[in-house]
Structure 1
Amino acid sequence: MSYNVKNGTGMDGRRDYDRTARVIAEEKPDVVALQELDQGTIRSSGRDTLQELAARTTLTGTYAKAIDYSGGSYGVGILSKEKPLSVKRIPLPGREEARVLLMAEFRDYWFCVTHLSLIREDSSASID
């Protein structure tokens, strides 16, 4: 599953970690790629979006910071049934903001998450 959680904020502008976690849990995924996660920011009242979702879904959370943001950080993450055997954070090009690729190794596969730039040249360079 892949889900841009917008820091747990819904289309109605309300931050509701329970609602976001329900969307994930209803799909019963083995692994989830998450984009737009706040960790300790003013915007999220110092909360860790990934860990809020991990606790509510009973999945393991793995986070990769892309940028410092608003007193904390902002990045991507993975929720998974299994704890990753190893993880790798790879910086990617981004002119409007730094981007990152998070790779997690599991027993039978690798799983990756990123949030590509909207600038075509940067996205293309990241894919390479």
Structure 2
Amino acid sequence: MGKGSSQLVRDVAIRDYLSKKDSRDGAVVIEVGELQEKLFQEGFPPSHVRQICEALKSKKLRQAQGVSVRVLGDDYRVTTRYEFRPANKPETQTPGVTPAKDSLLGLRGSLRGAIREGAKAFLEEIRRDSKESQ
């Protein structure tokens, strides 16, 4: 019987990232798109970003590696990054991610939705005006 896809995600994450902790505080950041490329080479099915994300956040991975996980940016996207750090270490600033940049990543999805709703309301108003002028 073959290995499950989620287990394959965890195995590659451990082998290629978590076992190679090279930062001073032990934090490791995994970008979903980068991991997805490595998984394709191992026969992982395409278009399974959600499964990759769920496997990275899984309790099995956190317990097996003794790490805590934090989502950087919008969840379930190819651009999503997951920060892993030893569970007993307090959270500090991640190298390469300033607090302002991290906050902006979180707002990106909200702003996109607000712009979309604003554009929809604007178009409805234009249509209403054009009907009234006829």
TM-score (normalised: structure 2):
0.38
Higher Rg of the two aligned structures: 2
Bigger proportion of residues as strand: 1
Q: Which is helix-richer, 1 or 2?
A: 2
